[in-house]
Each structure stands twice: as structure tokens, then as C-alpha cells.
Amino acid sequence: MLKLELTAWQRIMAVQALNAQAGHISLIRKALRLLEILELSAEEREAVKLSELPGGGVTWQDTDMRFELEIKDRELAAHLKRAVGAYDRWPVEQARLVADLFAQLGIEEGSNEDL
């Protein structure tokens, strides 16, 4: 079981990492199950005051709020770790949040070959 405490930004970026994947239907099914956990619900969107921008982007006001998430399936947790570890579009300006996300998932720097 994997317990996470993620900010809205970390959740959105984990969703992007999953959405960047392509592959066999089994991969898609795992990604869909993870998206059900990671995507913000209507109540969570309201809590952080998330709004969608015309170009498809989003903005929110409460940047420090953390959400407790639990991934009970070890295979799904491993899939999330692989997807996040393989994602290569992390913004340097969010290095602290990226490092925190990697730490929570147990991804070590330079460990791509282990994913």
C-alpha cells in the first residue's frame, strides 16, 4: 500500500505523467485506475479554488493544501512510480515539489534504469 500527501500541483503533474503514456491496453487500464485516484474531485477543486483557463490550463489559489491519497494495489503503485519516473517535462521552478513527489514515491535520482 502506498500513502501519499500531494498538493494539487503534484496531483495534476502525476496525471500528466500518466496521460503522456502510450502502450498496450493493460497499461491503459492501470492508468485509468490511477486517474480515478489522482484526478481532483469537484469538492477538491472547490477546496483549492481551481479554475480552468481558456487555453486549457488551470489555476488555483490554495497552493499549500495537501490531499491524502492511498493506492492499495501494489501493481498500481509500481505503475505510478514508473510513469512519474519516466516523465521528462518537469519544470525546474517546481524542483522542491518534484523532489517531494519523487521522495514519496521512492524514486531516487538517476534511477530511471530501475523503473
Distance CA 36, CA 31 (A): 9
Mean pLDDT, rounded, of the chain: 93
**Residue 51, beta-bridge partner list:** 59
Query: Taking the model in full, what pTM does it have?
Result: 0.90
pLDDT at residue 114, rounded to an integer: 47
Distance of CA 90 to the CA centre of its chain: 12
Residue in this structure with the C-alpha cell 495537501, named with its chain if needed = 66
Tens of pLDDT, residue by residue over 11-65, are: 999 999 999 999 999 999 999 999 999 999 999 999 999 999 999 889 999 999 9
Measured CA to CA in angstroms, residue 72 lies from 4, 75, 79, 86, 91 at distances of 11, 9, 12, 22, 29
Please report the beta strands in 8-111, taking only residues with DSSP state E, as ranges in sequence order. Answer: 51-52, 58-59, 66-71
Q: Are 78 and 55 in contact (CB under 8 A)?
A: no
Tens of pLDDT, residue by residue over 102-114, are: 999 999 876 554 4
Segments forming the whole domain that contains residue 108: 2-114
The total number of structural domains in the chain stands at 1
pLDDT at residue 109, rounded to an integer: 74
